[in-house]
Structure 1
């Protein structure tokens, strides 16, 4: 079962869920600068079918062999990733309510299952923050209160028995500590992730999140554009994220924004030129993927991004401090 089919099943079981279904364009028009497409047309898809949200599936793979090349074992000389660190940065403007609802209630549970069904991946951790880098600490509470992650950390672990609830809690973003003015300085999700993974946040509030032996996956979502303050070129943001892992091939970047100005499935979106340029800077290494909000179907965007994640896992080489 591919990601879109999984999401459809969850949608059918969820009454009144925002962001499910609808005629919002075909799944392949979001466009991949990598030239890859691992969507529903891929034999087998990234999903197995399990009895629980995060249990072991009865099948996985892309129909073209093991995405990690069968790599196993431990140590710095092993090639292939067994661990994934994922950071979600969500624009918290009111115009993003439908996108956040879709991510929170449908897309993330499916994304989590798909990650664990990639051959060779043993676990992942996931952190969430908004699109304001002031502060750039990972969120541990949502609008309704503390999320009480089972990990006891500032992030969620795939071993949690309550992972869906944890993500649903934290993705209902808490914003009372935000120091941005709201005058476009809260529209910089990729910059916020970079700040979160750099000192002082990487050595204080978010300390311990990044693992040497884990692939880093960044998911940045906005219905406007990446607008870093102070102003930075997309290549500079790319370089900041790559510096976290030391090699561009150890970072996968998924940018979700408007390919053009539109009134799309999730409401209005602006043309996101900077976000597209940032994605293209990662696409040069086969690690960038852009999904057009105008087309809707966020589940399709994440399905297609799995091609980049699987390729990155094949080539990943753990580092040792």
Structure 2
């Protein structure tokens, strides 16, 4: 089943939260969910109870239905029916870097309330993936510590770490808390030095942060996924070429094929679905450095529909997992 069709089915099941689709609130993908060739049920356990957006039962945020790829009737949290990778990754480490400028309010709301919950659901339903962890950082690398509190206070992750685990029963609300970015500790001035999401992730995965506040996040047997979003451009301070940022991110995993990079920004200057965006030339060039290994994707913020950008990343993640090479220390 195509991921776009799966997402349409998911949107159809989101009741009482918010509408799916573009900024006008009209859903562009209609129709009933489809079933794959396996014996899976509705995507995300759509007939579950309890009021959560995935139709899960008993507080389980991921439901009990079959997966969106038609690989049997196993639930997203595990179970029977999946074909499972005989080699490759079973774990994924995801870092979301969000530009915290006031012009990003609509994008951040979409990420918090629609995109991340759908992404989390679909990620666990890729055949072979058993779990993931997710961290949030803003677009300033000073400091490059993962966010454990939001603007309203501490997020109190069930993991008791600086990141969220997919096993959490409160994963969606934890992400919503962290993505409501707390910025009182940043040392960036706001004079373009706070518009460097990819650089912030690179710093977060390097000493002193990788051995301090963020220690233990990266797993040798996990694929690294980086999602960088800004409505301006990647503007590293001090200046760095996209190839240098690429090499810093790859160094964290030791192998380019073990990193998937999704850049979300303006392909051109525009007034788009989420408001105005500047052309993200550096970010696009950074994506191109990963595209050589089919690990880089760019989504045009001018088109809106961030959920479709994450869908593209899911395709890359599935492919990357089949070729994953665990780090050997």
Same fold per superposition (TM over 0.5) = yes
TM-score of the superposition, structure 1-length normalised?
0.86
Which residue in the other structure is 1:158 paired with? 166
Q: Distance in 2 between matches of 1:228 and 1:298?
A: 24
CA distance in 2, matches of 1:168, 1:23: 20
- Other-structure match for 1:32: none
Distance change in 2, residues 1:111/1:18 (3 Å): closer
CA RMSD of aligned residues (A): 2.7
**TM, length-normalised to structure 2:** 0.84
Hey, what does 2:63 align to over in structure 1?
55
Partner of 1:286: 294
Distance in 2, Cα, partners of 1:19 & 1:131: 26
The partner residue of 1:208 within 216, 227, 238 is: 216
Cα deviations by residue, 1:121-140 (Å, 9 ceiling, x for unpaired): 00000000000000000000
Distance in structure 1 (CA, Å) of the matches to 2:20 and 2:109: 6
Residue 306 (str. 1) matches residue 314 (str. 2)? yes
CA distance in 1, matches of 2:117, 2:152: 20
Q: Secondary structure at the match of 1:252?
A: strand
After TM superposition, give the deviation of residue 42 of structure 1 in Å.
Answer: 11
Structure 2: any 5+ residue segments left out of the alignment?
49-55, 72-81
SS where residue 238 of structure 1 aligns?
A: helix
Provide, for residues 112-165 of structure 1, a one-character-per-residue CA deviation record: whole Å limited to 9, x for no partner.
000100000000000000000000000000000000000000000000000011
1:267 counterpart (271, 275, 285): 275
Instruction: Report the 3-state secondary structure (helix = DSSP H, G, I; strand = E; otherwise coil) of the residue aligned with 2:283.
Output: helix
Q: Given the alignment of the two structures, is residue 105 of structure 1 paired with residue 105 of structure 2, yes or no?
A: no
Contact 1:60 1:119 in 2 (8 A): no
Unaligned runs of at least 5 residues, structure 1: 28-39, 73-78
> CA-to-partner distance for each residue in 1:169-225, whole Å, 9 max, x for gaps?
110000000100000000000000000000000000000000000000000000000
Counterpart position of 1:220: 228
Correspondence 1:231 to 2:239 = yes
Cα pair 2:36 2:69 within 8 Å, conserved: yes
Q: 2:24 aligns with which of 22, 25, 36?
A: 22
Question: Post-superposition, which runs of at least 4 consecutive aligned residues in structure 1 deviate over 3 A?
Answer: 17-27, 40-45
- C-alpha distance in structure 2 between counterparts of 1:171 and 1:7, whole Å: 21
The residue aligned with 1:3 is 7
Q: Does the alignment pair 1:13 with 2:16?
A: yes
Residue 76 (structure 2) aligns with: none
* Partner in structure 1 of residue 191 of structure 2: 183
Alignment correspondent of 1:114 = 122
Corresponding residue for residue 71 of structure 1: 85
For residues 115 and 303 of structure 1, do their structure 2 counterparts lie closer, same or farther at Cα, with a shift above 3 Å needed? same
Q: Distance in 2 between matches of 1:41 and 1:270?
A: 36
TM-superposed CA distance for 1:88, in Å, is 0.1
Return the structure number with greater relative CO, CA threshold 8 A, min gap 6.
Answer: 1
Q: What SS does structure 2 have at the residue aligned with 1:229?
A: coil
Tell me the distance in 1 between the aligned counterparts of 2:227 and 2:34.
22
Deviations 1:228-254 (A, max 9, x none): 000000010000000000000000000
The offset of 1:317, in angstroms, is 1.7
Cα distance change on mapping 1:206 and 1:140 into 2, 3 Å: same
Q: Distance in 1 between matches of 2:33 and 2:314?
A: 13
Residue of 184, 197, 202 corresponding to 1:194 = 202
SS in 2 for 1:113: helix
The answer to whether residue 323 in structure 2 is matched with residue 318 in structure 1 is no
